[in-house]
Chain A
């Protein structure tokens, strides 16, 4: 992303988005009809990969997320930050419909992936999840060999190419190849936590998704492993669009291009306070709650 010729108007547009759901709706409608066309005031970066429009999310009767509208651009890293319970993980998991697996949940609003609402009736969540990969908070390799972990996704998707090549390429791209190339048949659970997490990333990129969702991928890891994961994320954005939930403000500052800040309202429902370029949001937040959170006064 070298087209960083953004203007301040763009940010004005972005930061009012949380409140201006009417605007968001219009933009969402524009996006849904004309694929990835960006709204006029939002001229920064590449094409829109995912657009969330007026998202409300419910766990049974509990209104967990209120009126979130947000846009993610191709080959950017967007960080979702905010205090515990602010719904950032829930929002992340609506993007690949991972929340479908929890009974009694319901999403209102739209999540447009390449302009198509993933919650439309004719959309198969399995296909969405293949194209929008996910890395979880705790490393969760399958209790299989390193090799089989990488090939699992490719196998179920009927990959026809050379599996050895796929394994090597995926592990190289996840910066894990040199550490495991001599023990590909070893059980993945014998790797260290940081290696396991990089294996999970390798496994995700092996199915060539367009977007990778990361739900606090380094929170269970030590500082050295964390920094390896961060370096990796920085490299991966060359090929993938990355959306990452993190508790760690410094991490968001280091790795992300855009940041979205969420908070919890008095009904314990999460909402978006503001979002925009990470540097702007950190050094020049529009909302005093953002400033308070970032400067560590709460959360």
Chain B
């Protein structure tokens, strides 16, 4: 048998059925995720057309006015955007430094044993349902802020409390992506730093961190886009009414919070209110899309290529 095989010139492709089935299944999965995304964009776009086409709404007002009061047909999106900026900005003030410190600790300082329990604990943090975080903000963080700054300064609903708790939620996102970036820095660079008489801290902060800066920036942006899109915490704790304010102790409604409240209420199909939800959804989508594109840009542009 081996003799005949050795001289055989049968090199033709054999069609293996199971290989083909698996290939098709894998392709279908990949295609499905793209099609779903495209579908969402198409629906968001199509459903927002009636809103912007309505004579009572102008682009100029939408992007120029600081009043969002659908009852009186005032559709300036800024109050919702500023509230979103407040909650996600505060969240990043929490998650940026803490997440980065955790990442540096995990990648540069922690022993294998510490790492083996700290990482799962962090993952649990991001696995807690956001509704639990929402009530945590409302029943713990807000009273805490009120006891520190005073009841007359801190309103019961406020963007600060929601932002702080979103920050806790996204710490694992920053820490895990930033740790990946730090760990990807070649050991040879650390050796170079130690070889020049660098301490552990000098090596971590002045060599490893700068070398990983593109990955760290990307982790921040991914976390930021998660914070911008966070819904449950803000709708429970941030406030239920548009409010153009930069005071973190006052109630204000984010884009997501507004969408939830409006779609949860009894609004009629094809009303201006109803259509506004899609316009807001589209805006939100564009914000996170932009953030993700920036993050991809940063990663590819500033990534250092080591041999």
Contact = CB atoms under 8 A, between A and B. Distances in A.
Interface of A: 96, 98, 101, 103, 126-127, 129-131, 133-136, 138, 140-144, 152-153, 156-157, 189, 200, 203-204, 207
Interface string B182-207: 00001011111111111100100011
Nearest to A143: B304
Nearest to A189: B304
Interface residues of B, number: 24
B202 A142 contact: no
Contacts of B190: 101
Contacts of A143: 189, 210-211, 304, 306
B192 A200 contact: yes
A130 B211 contact: no
B111 interface: yes
B138 to A, nearest CB: 45
Given A142-B207, A144-B210, A207 B197 contact: yes
B217 to A, nearest CB: 15
B53 interface: no
A142 B195 CA distance: 12
A253 B207 CA distance: 36
11 contacts: A98-B195, A129-B198, A130-B197, A133-B195, A141-B192, A143-B210, A156-B196, A156-B206, A200-B192, A203-B196, A207-B196
Contact of B194 (A98, A103, A144): A98
Given A103-B111, A144-B210, A129 B195 contact: yes
A136 B192 contact: yes
A101 B196 contact: no
A129 B188 contact: no
Query: Nearest 8 CB-CB pairs, A to B?
Result: A130-B197, A153-B196, A134-B195, A140-B188, A143-B304, A140-B192, A129-B197, A156-B202
Contacts of B189: 140, 142-143
Nearest to A125: B194
Given A103-B111, A140-B186, A189-B304, A204 B206 contact: no
B305 interface: yes
A96 B112 CA distance: 25
B307 interface: yes
Interface in B272-307: 304-307
Interface of B: 111-112, 186, 188-199, 202, 206-207, 210-211, 304-307
A238 B73 CA distance: 85
A136 B195 contact: yes
B89 to A, nearest CB: 30
B194 A152 contact: no
B188 A204 contact: no
A65 B226 CA distance: 52
Contacts of A126: 194, 197-199
B196 A136 contact: no
Given A142-B211, A157-B197, A204-B196, 6 more contacts: A98-B191, A126-B194, A126-B198, A126-B199, A136-B191, A138-B188
A152 B196 CA distance: 8
B169 to A, nearest CB: 33
Q: Which of A98, A127, A135, A143 has the most CB of B within 10 A?
A: A143
Contacts of B206: 152, 156
A261 to B, nearest CB: 26
A64 B112 CA distance: 23
Contacts of B186: 140
B197 A204 contact: no
A229 B198 CA distance: 25
B246 to A, nearest CB: 38
A140 B207 contact: no
Nearest to B191: A136
Nearest to A137: B188
Nearest to B207: A142
A126 B189 CA distance: 16
Contacts of A129: 194-198
Contacts of B191: 98, 101, 134, 136, 140
B298 to A, nearest CB: 15
Given A130-B197, A133-B196, A136-B188, A189 B306 contact: yes
Contact of B196 (A127, A130, A144, A189): A130
